[in-house]
Amino acid sequence: MKKTNLLNFSLYFVCCGTLLLSFYFNEDGSYSPLSGDFRDTWPYVLNLKNNILSDPTGYTVHYPLHYILISRLNFIISDPTNLRFFMMLISMTIPFIFFKVLSKKFKNKDSKVLFIISLCIFFIPAYRYSSIWANDRIITDIFILIGTYFFFSFQETKKEIKNLYFCLLFFALACYSRQFYTVYYALFLIYIFKSCNLKNFFNLSIYSLLLSLPGFYLLYKLPYLFSGLAYSGNIFNTLLGNVSSLFVYTLPIISINILLQKKISFDLKKIFTYSAISLIIFSIAYFFHDINTMGRNGGSFFIFSKLIFNNYLIFYLIFILNFLIILTIFETYFDKFIVFSFVFIFCSIIVPQSVFEPLFFLYFFLFSQSKFKDIFLESRKASFAIFSYYIFYYLVSKTDILYKINL
């Protein structure tokens, strides 16, 4: 047991070491989005030191909680680099918090396996770049994970209703850092509705309404938080781009199950039906989409398809394949509904790959009913396989930066 704990902590500190190294080199993603975001929003942070309701116009369209917290820290840590370093240290707690939430959810599973799964977070590119550049994704993910921990604490006995109040409080704090999480807050109320009686749900709904009042006030005082959002205007561009982007995360799930699952079986009738649905949806989307306005909305496969083959055939094929995979690995209608909500919520003019990170990963392991996650929870080999995949994914994302792959 002691050897196992030593191995776990050793792996954890090695992962932390890689993040420190990335910080030293000021690592960022393609087009330097997060370093640019930090540079562009720093004047806003300084403004918030003097006026907590400072106008975000021209700086950010996100709700201000993250920037307010940063501005308070700036009273203590004045140097931007030192402040970034402090936030990076805070971000190192996210994989550990994720491990604690997994342990709360899956009490009967091997903690060593759960720990390896939690370490995957370290190599999700958006997590790393956000950690290095003090991005609001870090604060948001911490709030989401703490809220989820309280939710699973309630589910243990169904008696400690106060845990649901804490859960919704932290989810609300996440919304005040990134407002599109309000959609997930609303969807999460469905889980709560299933978990408690009508009286408690009514009280929690009133509580949620009270938590939302500061948000409405901010919209009234700072209308740019809504008017500054830019939408693609073409839902079929959104569908093609975002489903293709999710292939990065569904690929290891389906592949590792096929390779390592001894008794995996597929319902051929369902596969045929899902294939037909995928082709029909693709045909409709292809007819109505506008490839010339896709911009950066197609994720890495859109870029690689154009770069390597000088056409979008691979991009289209991956859409069809991943639509089929999503329908297959998420068996319940509710899971399908949640996953496709990921697809349609992110419908701005520019939808980078990073918006799904680590949101999709967290949902799959913590909330989905998919039987395809069982192998990762029960097999050390499978957990190391997905851990290795995310290391590979991170290294591939680095080649994108090193070789300056652009459209």
Report the C-alpha gap between 372 and 37 in whole angstroms: 37
Report the C-alpha gap between 290 and 254 in whole angstroms: 30
Candidates 112, 190, 102; CA nearest to 148 is 102
* Tokens found for residue 317: 């094929």
As a whole number, mean pLDDT of residues 338-354 equals 76
Which runs of E-coded beta strand occur in 165-318?
none
Query: For the CA atoms of the chain, what is the radius of gyration?
Result: 21
* Tokens found for residue 348: 């701005």
Only one residue has tokens 């400690």, namely 160
Report the C-alpha gap between 324 and 180 in whole angstroms: 27
Backbone angles phi, psi at 403, to 5 degrees: -100, 5
Alpha helices in 80-161 (DSSP H): 80-91, 93-105, 111-119, 125-132, 136-157
3-state DSSP assignment of residue 231: strand
* Tokens found for residue 50: 């003097």
The pLDDT value recorded for residue 2 is: 45
Q: How confident is the model at residue 297 (pLDDT cuts 50, 70, 90)?
A: low
% of the chain residues with pLDDT over 70: 92
- AA letter at 397: S
The pLDDT value recorded for residue 144 is: 93
As a whole number, mean pLDDT of residues 174-180 equals 87
Contact between residue 310 and residue 234 where contact means Cβ atoms under 8 Å apart: no
What sign does the dihedral 310-311-313-318 (CA atoms) show?
positive
The pLDDT value recorded for residue 3 is: 47
Candidates 204, 249, 253; CA nearest to 385 is 253
Report the C-alpha gap between 168 and 150 in whole angstroms: 9
* Tokens found for residue 69: 């917290």
3-state DSSP assignment of residue 359: helix
pLDDT digits (tens, 9 = 90+) for 107-154: 989 999 999 999 999 999 999 999 999 999 999 999 999 999 999 999
- Contacts for 8 with CB less than 8 Å, ≥ 6 apart: 112, 115
- AA letter at 243: V
Report the C-alpha gap between 250 and 151 in whole angstroms: 26
What sign does the dihedral 77-83-89-94 (CA atoms) show?
positive
Q: What secondary structure letter does DSSP report for 354?
A: G
Q: Is pLDDT at 309 greater than 60 in this prediction?
A: yes
Which runs of E-coded beta strand occur in 294-373?
none
Backbone angles phi, psi at 231, to 5 degrees: -105, 150
Contact between residue 376 and residue 116 where contact means Cβ atoms under 8 Å apart: no
What's the chain's average pLDDT? Answer: 86
Interaxial angle between packed helices 333-345 and 235-245, expressed in degrees from 0 to 180 and rounded to the nearest 10:
110
Q: What secondary structure letter does DSSP report for 348?
A: B
As a whole number, mean pLDDT of residues 328-347 equals 86
The pLDDT value recorded for residue 402 is: 47
% of the chain residues with pLDDT over 90: 49
Contact between residue 114 and residue 40 where contact means Cβ atoms under 8 Å apart: no
Q: How confident is the model at residue 155 (pLDDT cuts 50, 70, 90)?
A: confident
- Contacts for 261 with CB less than 8 Å, ≥ 6 apart: 375
pLDDT digits (tens, 9 = 90+) for 53-89: 888 888 888 888 999 999 999 888 889 999 999 999 9
Q: What secondary structure letter does DSSP report for 228?
A: T
Q: Is pLDDT at 406 greater than 60 in this prediction?
A: no
